[in-house]
Structure 1
């Protein structure tokens, strides 16, 4: 389903405000068009010798009225349009952010953060400029040109003189047709190169610590420099084309003025027109030159913004891979038994299955341990359970309801997921722990921190739980970040808690304390522990061993140790590693 065209829907909802602003600018320019006529009439009065105090006062008051009326009406219209442009910027960015939050992990794996930021920053700004400056200048230019032409025909200026002066202006449509598509094409290349630069900058900022540790700053500067060079080349091509286009329109207007001075001056000498008519004609044509330049600016802006608008509309038309069914139901917390039946799954574009014929039942209130080598499918299983990727119909159910028939909100509220590299936001530790419920009291936050064995570390900080974390929680060590993320999962208190190798960065004593707290605090709730270390799962009610996407063993720790299989081999390797580390220590 296509999303509404972002600019069209905005203009349609605010058309009455735009109409009022355009009307205000229109009246302002109609009033301004009387300026040459008043001066022309005053010139004729001077020529005939009929000048007196009353004539001077009359002309002065008329010009004063024109100036004040034009300033007030044009200023009001421009303010309204500029304000609407800023509001569009706010609305468009809100729609983009909302769209970003609906997209799946698969989309983000193909598109960098920098590219997404370029939509929010560069493209939205470009479109905003087109509906602010563009509407202002277009209304000014069109109305002023029309008003001038009408006033010229109503004046004493001969029609044939007006037509001769207008000959150069007939080439304007040809110039627009010739340059317009070229400007738009080069604008699109500029926007794409800006998106690439933003993506490169974001990546390098995020990895600046690695860059410094490896002392490869010159390489990174050169890489970023190549991206900037591409932008410069594209922008210079656009500037050259735009400058030529913008110069041609006022040049044609200037030719009209030259014809008016030459031919109109000749007719004035011959006595065919009055000096006042000649003055009016030159002023009218001079007033046309500036609107022609504005039209050039507008067309350039519109062509650039059209490229940005296409990108925005395409972005907003992207549909999430994971969508709720029309008859989706909320999960029932009363019976959260987890069942997996015949689950096989391949990642998009992958040549082999990541999981194959998985069958599991996790009764309510039990703990399931999952272990296996790297790449065996452990995290894939969790992603399917959370519908980060879409599992096949009928393969995963909670409380008897297929997860594909559950509302996404209830599914992800029902499950607390703690990944190995839990993301921390650059706010306080308290806010990070209470992420799922910002209304949580301090007692609840502290209790969760104690369960995750991070409480003592936090209280050692000068600001305690109000300590502000750096980007991605860089203020904390790896183990502290992991335990803070654990505290966040504990505080949620969801019926199902999934720990995805979430104690890999802590020492053995701390791990034991966390697992003990887990068993005592989550009685009656389901827990799934994915780990590489057997010590984290040995007390689970059931343990499954994954290898190459298939369950190769299952049972309790004691049962699996009696079998001559992968589990016992992993245990032996880890025990040997532990003894070696202790002996070396």
Structure 2
């Protein structure tokens, strides 16, 4: 089990503020413990017939001061602790998000978004509640119990009576030891089932349009219902255990009070103690019952938060697969020549290699076209170039530097990457295009949109570039989303631009216009175009044909057609498809 270093680190950083808050709560509870003694003395005075106007005023003044002092100090202490708890929640969520951004793509391929949200929402809230409520109630309970015990020992109440009344309380440590681990284990299962529910909900909400189109809402409701049922079962088991535990502590406190009333009442009748001592004793023990209830709540909450804290610490201890080496240097500014030598690669856990013995050179300012069947390794190649996955040492160099020896920020800042399914955020079209530089001028954003052939479509919206997109850019069509993503790549104007099948959703005429703009704007800049349609890469300085993870052909468009290989076959198929489409039109 991981040490709760996340929480300890925060407590250590703010120990002096917590100390002041705990001191205020401590003084408040010490003052509160004077209440039974004042009331007991008043009772003895009343019994002795010595009650006077001044005695009533004096006792009332003391009780009023006790109440005011307790309220002010306890309120200040609890406010500070609650405020620090909220601060912990804020800081931890920021830390988690920053950690998520450092994790490699391989982690996200195995863990869903819902699981990430569960850490941020459920687990952080659980820990925040434990340190806010836990510190307040623990300080209240412990100090009040100690103060009550001290006040009882300083009073004239017989020691043997106090000890007899305390006998049931000796069982409390055994109850805590017995129930603590069981509550913690059941809490862990609840948090895990909540994470699964969040993951399932996120997935089903994201695919709700597909669900409706296939009319399978009952099936989806059934699947989600099964997840909720598991949560309910785990929570009911936790509630049963927690309820028994929380009932036992006040029950033991109640037994002490029963003994005090029975035994203390007998001694009062016998004249061994005064009525004032009897009243004070019962009030003291009554004051102990509530702190015992608080201790039960705190232990219960702490056991639950312990499960969340372990999950958070485990999450924050996950190391990214892609890390910078010690002494990593920034990639030389403007470096754009690419050299790939003897590159072979297999995805983690895969039995077969995705790439085998790739040798490739892209001179600075040249355009490389990559084509091949689905699964031939095209996207894998550019992912290794970007170090989304780690290439073998020395296999990929840019500007003469091994990409593994450069800083990730400098490498990725000099490569513009436009995937086939370019992700758009739920913000304005302008912000999506200017994603790499939010402060860039409107004119440059518009120019990039024109290059990507999306400007006219954008201007058809009433708010133009300030149009806010729905989730994942649902406001736009597939082709419009792809061209908006292309505009983002044009605007970055990086030394190296990679288009990964980024014009697959546009028509042939628009594709031609985009490619023409690309050739003009990227003159003397390195460009890599991955495509399934030959029309998108036929202008490239060199074209490589990939199949089953290897390069099977390379050359210019005319050279490859003359070779009568896979490239020529693909070209013939596509040309026939084009002629058939024109004939039907």
Q: In structure 2, what is the equivalent of residue 187 of structure 1? A: 187
* Structure 1 residue matching 2:563: 3-state secondary structure: coil
Name the CA distance, whole Å, in 2 between partners of 1:3 and 1:531.
50
Change (3 A) 1:41 1:4: closer
Name the CA distance, whole Å, in 2 between partners of 1:276 and 1:30.
20
Q: In structure 2, what is the equivalent of residue 164 of structure 1? A: 164
Name the CA distance, whole Å, in 1 between partners of 2:284 and 2:564.
98
Name the CA distance, whole Å, in 2 between partners of 1:548 and 1:436.
34
Residue 216 (structure 1) shift? 0.4
Q: In structure 1, what is the equivalent of residue 197 of structure 2? A: 197
Name the CA distance, whole Å, in 1 between partners of 2:5 and 2:321.
21
Q: In structure 2, what is the equivalent of residue 269 of structure 1? A: 269
Name the CA distance, whole Å, in 2 between partners of 1:112 and 1:79.
37
Name the CA distance, whole Å, in 2 between partners of 1:206 and 1:173.
49
Residue 3 (structure 1) shift? 11
Q: Could you report, residue by residue, the CA deviation over 1:78-108 in whole angstroms, capped at 9, with x for unpaired residues? A: 0000000000000110110000000000000
Change (3 A) 1:33 1:60: same
* Structure 2 residue matching 1:538: 3-state secondary structure: coil
* Structure 2 residue matching 1:343: 3-state secondary structure: strand
8 Å Cα contact 2:324-2:404 kept in structure 1: yes
Q: In structure 1, what is the equivalent of residue 442 of structure 2? A: 442
8 Å Cα contact 2:145-2:288 kept in structure 1: yes
1:575 partnered with 2:575: yes
Name the CA distance, whole Å, in 1 between partners of 2:222 and 2:552.
49
Q: In structure 1, what is the equivalent of residue 564 of structure 2? A: 564
Root mean square deviation, CA, Å: 0.9
Residue 237 (structure 1) shift? 0.4
Q: In structure 2, what is the equivalent of residue 283 of structure 1? A: 283
* Structure 1 residue matching 2:423: 3-state secondary structure: coil
Please list, as runs of the form range in 1=range in 2, the aligned pairs for 1:96-245 lying within 5 A after superposition: 96-245=96-245
Name the CA distance, whole Å, in 2 between partners of 1:99 and 1:213.
37
* Structure 2 residue matching 1:494: 3-state secondary structure: coil
Q: In structure 1, what is the equivalent of residue 551 of structure 2? A: 551
Please list, as runs of the form range in 1=range in 2, the aligned pairs for 1:362-441 lying within 5 A after superposition: 362-441=362-441
Name the CA distance, whole Å, in 2 between partners of 1:70 and 1:511.
76
TM-score of the two chains, using structure 2 as the length reference: 0.99
Name the CA distance, whole Å, in 2 between partners of 1:267 and 1:351.
84
* Structure 2 residue matching 1:321: 3-state secondary structure: coil
8 Å Cα contact 1:193-1:227 kept in structure 2: yes
TM-score of the two chains, using structure 1 as the length reference: 0.99
1:521 partnered with 2:507: no
8 Å Cα contact 1:3-1:316 kept in structure 2: no
Residue 226 (structure 1) shift? 0.4
8 Å Cα contact 1:41-1:276 kept in structure 2: yes
Name the CA distance, whole Å, in 2 between partners of 1:546 and 1:221.
43
Name the CA distance, whole Å, in 2 between partners of 1:361 and 1:329.
23
Name the CA distance, whole Å, in 1 between partners of 2:432 and 2:374.
29
Name the CA distance, whole Å, in 2 between partners of 1:490 and 1:27.
66
Deviates more, 1:575-584 or 1:194-203: 575-584
Residue 335 (structure 1) shift? 3.9
Q: In structure 2, what is the equivalent of residue 344 of structure 1? A: 344
Q: In structure 1, what is the equivalent of residue 311 of structure 2? A: 311
8 Å Cα contact 2:4-2:309 kept in structure 1: no
Residue 385 (structure 1) shift? 0.3
* Structure 1 residue matching 2:554: 3-state secondary structure: strand
Residue 336 (structure 1) shift? 2.1
Give the gaps of 5 or more residues in structure 2.
none
Name the CA distance, whole Å, in 1 between partners of 2:385 and 2:330.
15
Residue 4 (structure 1) shift? 8.7
* Structure 2 residue matching 1:332: 3-state secondary structure: coil
Residue 331 (structure 1) shift? 1.1
Q: Which runs of 4+ in 1 moved over 4 A?
A: none
Q: In structure 2, what is the equivalent of residue 54 of structure 1? A: 54
Residue 580 (structure 1) shift? 1.2
Residue 333 (structure 1) shift? 2.7
Name the CA distance, whole Å, in 1 between partners of 2:353 and 2:79.
60
Q: In structure 2, what is the equivalent of residue 66 of structure 1? A: 66
Residue 583 (structure 1) shift? 1.3
Q: Could you report, residue by residue, the CA deviation over 1:510-538 in whole angstroms, capped at 9, with x for unpaired residues? A: 00000000001111110000000000000
Q: In structure 2, what is the equivalent of residue 584 of structure 1? A: 584
Name the CA distance, whole Å, in 1 between partners of 2:487 and 2:424.
12
Change (3 A) 1:335 1:194: closer
Residue 334 (structure 1) shift? 4.1
8 Å Cα contact 2:3-2:310 kept in structure 1: no
Q: In structure 1, what is the equivalent of residue 484 of structure 2? A: 484
8 Å Cα contact 1:3-1:317 kept in structure 2: no
* Structure 2 residue matching 1:562: 3-state secondary structure: helix
Change (3 A) 1:471 1:68: same
* Structure 1 residue matching 2:371: 3-state secondary structure: strand
Q: In structure 2, what is the equivalent of residue 295 of structure 1? A: 295
Residue 290 (structure 1) shift? 0.2
Please list, as runs of the form range in 1=range in 2, the aligned pairs for 1:463-478 lying within 5 A after superposition: 463-478=463-478
1:456 partnered with 2:456: yes
Q: Give aligned pairs, total.
A: 584
8 Å Cα contact 1:459-1:465 kept in structure 2: yes
Name the CA distance, whole Å, in 2 between partners of 1:143 and 1:5.
26
Name the CA distance, whole Å, in 2 between partners of 1:181 and 1:353.
46
Change (3 A) 1:389 1:79: same
Deviates more, 1:320-329 or 1:32-41: 320-329
Change (3 A) 1:261 1:335: closer
